[in-house]
Structures are given as structure tokens and as C-alpha cells.
Structure 1
Amino acid sequence: MPLFMDVHALGDGVTMDDVAKAHAADLATQGAHDVNYLRYWVDEAKGQIFCLVEAPDAEAANTVHREAHGLVADHIFEVKEGS
């Protein structure tokens, strides 16, 4: 399944706790869309969130965000994992 990295630029007020809650909502919603949110990273100082997700396509990944909490990504990039 394709792998995507999405980027959210939310500005001030982003906290790890809030992102953890949003991620939990993603996990509760993802199954209906054949999506698997794997990990996330937060830059609180810059108000940015990065999510790593397996999904059939970028729109399926964004649909989960939209349904789970409404915070859709500003950018979604298809990526390949290296070592």
C-alpha cells in the first residue's frame, strides 16, 4: 500500500496533547477507509504536524482526518521509506 507524509500548518497553540487526541480519533475512523495512520510528529513552536500514513491514495488519508476531527492536511506527499 502507498505511504504518505502529510503536513498540517496550524500556527500557534498546537500541543502534543491535542494532537494525541486527534490521532486517536484518526485511529478510530481509519478502518472504514482502508487507511492506517502509523506515526505523527509535532513541532509545537512552529505549529506544524506531520503524519505518516498508509492509504490507497492521498484523498482517503485526508477523508479520515476530515471525518475524525476536521483538520485536513495542507500538503500530502507520497513517500518511500529508506534506511
Structure 2
Amino acid sequence: MTRFMDVHHGAHGVTEDQLRQAMKAEAELEQEEGVRFQHVWADPESGTVYCLTEGPSADAVQRVHERSGGFRPDEIHPVPLSL
């Protein structure tokens, strides 16, 4: 399984409740795509959201975001090395 960091822009004013709702919708699709969302960070002022995920591919991560109706990532980066 590969880890991915996806970056979402344009989420100005995002709230904790909105993030929780998006994560709940994504969690319902995780098993179907083999994706597991591990952590989410957000900066409501800049409108940037970061998600650390684990999954078989960036495409699988993208599909979960799209199918859930949540925040669509602008970038998805593999993270093959971490300490």
C-alpha cells in the first residue's frame, strides 16, 4: 500500500464540521476502493486542505473524493518514504 498526500485548494472558510462530514462520506467508500484516510489538516484562511491517505493508487484516492462529493483534490502526491 502506498501513502499519498493530497492537496485541496479553494476551501476558504472550511469548518471542522464540514471536514468531519466529508470524512464520514469518504469512510463509507474506503473499502470499495481499498483506500484508508489517515489524517486531515486544514487552513480555513488560505483554503488549503491536506489529506494523508493510504491506498493502491492515486486514482483510487481521487475516485473516493469524487464519489463522496467531498473536497476534490487539486494535487495527489505519492509519499514513498517517511521517517
Q: Report the TM-score when normalising by structure 1.
A: 0.91
- Partner residue, 1:71: 71
Aligned AA (2:20): A
- Superposition CA RMSD, Å: 1.1
Match of 1:12 in 2: 12
Q: Is the 8 A contact 2:22 2:70 kept in 1?
A: no
SS in 2 for 1:51: strand
Determine the structure 2 residue equivalent to 1:58. 58
Corresponding residue for 1:2?
2
Q: Secondary structure at the match of 2:29?
A: helix
What TM-score does the superposition give when structure 2 sets the normalisation length? Answer: 0.91
Runs of 5+ consecutive residues of structure 1 not aligned to the other structure: none
Identical residues among aligned pairs (%): 34
Q: How far apart in 1 are the matches of 2:38 and 2:77? A: 15
Provide the residue aligned with 1:43 in structure 2.
43
Deviations 1:38-83 (A, max 9, x none): 110011111111000001110100100000115320001111221x
Task: Map residues 26-41 of structure 1 onto 2, 5 A cutoff.
Answer: 26-41=26-41
* Structure 2 residues not aligned, in runs of 5+: none
C-alpha separation between the residues in 2 aligned to 1:66 and 1:37?
14
Contact 2:26 2:65 in 1 (8 A): yes
Tell me the distance in 1 between the aligned counterparts of 2:48 and 2:66.
17
In 2, Cα distance between equivalents of 1:60 and 1:11: 22
